[in-house]
Amino acid sequence: MRHILALCHLEHRGFHVTFQTAAAFVDGNTESGNFLRLMLQSSTAGSQGIVGAQDLLVTANTVNNSGINIASGACVVYGAETAFQGSYYGYNVGLDTSLTIAATSGTIRSDMIVIRAEDPTWSGSPWGNPASGQILFPRVLSNVAAGLTTVPGGYSAIPLCRIDMPVSTSAVSQAYIHDLRAVAQPQRIMQVVTAAGPGSVTNWTAGTTPVAWPPGATWQVAIPAWATTMVCSWVIGEASYISGWARGNVGPVFGASVTAPALTFTQPLVSATAGPEHTIAGGFTAAIPASLRGTTQTMQFSQVANGQTGLMAATEATSTSVTYEFQQLASSS
């Protein structure tokens, strides 16, 4: 009780409490734009970028050769010019074709396409125009450093792409556009699956047709609709050496059939000439095509010999484990 009275006494003597509460959460109240921006900054943990993986993709404009297209989508831009500025939200509801790229003469030039917050409402703002309904604008930052991937300092903006224009060029080709988008708060989910070895010794095949090996290393994997990338590491432990020069490619695939998989990942070359047990391991980062997003796929291991007749085997001592993570990264499809 004494602490409460002391706080009240300090407030009466001219001290003030800086903590703010959103009055908009109480019926009949309104809220300042600044506090709404601070709320957005908090809810996005201060991150910035596009919201969905395909949002605001920049492509060449085939009608206006000197122009570009900015696809629909949403973004969050962190206010970097002043303390407690907050973050800005914007949504492009159509195909934006407002920007054009200047032609080059005798030298190459790099331009960066950004979404920039131009807010004249905070003290010290460099934007002198009166506040209007639009604060976020697509802009061309011309003649930036070659290879630049981040927005130059000094204002609030997110990069969409860099356009590297060759000498004496007026038309923007798709090959000149380098995607720089990043998802502000990418979704991700990690899973670990395991499989025990078979009850009896099962050799791999020395033929040239892929086979499912080790047996039993099969799982049903639900691919999130938002997943654009898969990062994976896997281990086959205690695989037994049987004979000859055991040489082949082993690794996971998506699909009910290893001879016609829906998606094949990196399959490292296994080579063994001696020793009773071996550990086989691999890993990869792979793009998930749009056709597989939101589906459930069979993940199993595929093995195919690589020109030799030697054999490895899976036994009851063999175990297989896979750790994989689906990520939501910026994507063009």
pLDDT exceeds cutoff 80 at 269: yes
pLDDT digits (tens, 9 = 90+) for 118-158: 998 877 778 876 666 789 999 999 999 999 999 988 789 99
DSSP string, 12-39: HTT--------GGGSTT----HHHHHHH
For 81-115, the pLDDT digits (tens) are 888 899 999 999 999 999 999 999 999 999 999 99
What pLDDT was estimated at residue 34? 84
Q: Could you tell me the sign of the dihedral formed by the alpha carbons of 97, 98, 103, 107, in that order?
A: negative
Report, as an integer, the average pLDDT of 186-205. 97
Q: Tell me, what's the pLDDT at 276?
A: 85
In the predicted structure, residue 35 carries a pLDDT above the cut 50: yes
Cis peptide before 214, with omega less than 30 degrees from 0? yes
Q: Round to whole Å and give the CA distance between 217 and 299.
A: 8
Average pLDDT, the chain: 91
pLDDT given at position 11 = 44
Task: Pinpoint the alpha helices (H) of the chain.
Answer: 2-12, 33-43
CATH numbers and ranges of domains, the chain: 23-179 (no CATH), 188-327 (2.60.120.660)
Residue 15 binned pLDDT confidence (cut-offs 50, 70, 90): low
Residue 12 has pLDDT above 50, yes or no: no
Q: For residues 185 and 47, is the Cβ–Cβ distance under 8 A?
A: yes
pLDDT of residue 6: 41
- The predicted pLDDT at position 8 comes to 42
Residue 3 banded pLDDT, cuts 50, 70, 90: very low
Res 24: pLDDT: 65
DSSP letter for each residue of 96-164: B---B-PPP-SS-EEEEEEEEE--TTSTT-S--SPP-S--EEEEEEEEEPTT--SPPSSS-EEEEEEEE
pLDDT recorded at residue 242? 95
What pTM does this model have?
0.83
Provide the sign of the torsion angle of the four alpha carbons 253, 257, 259, 261, taken in this order. negative
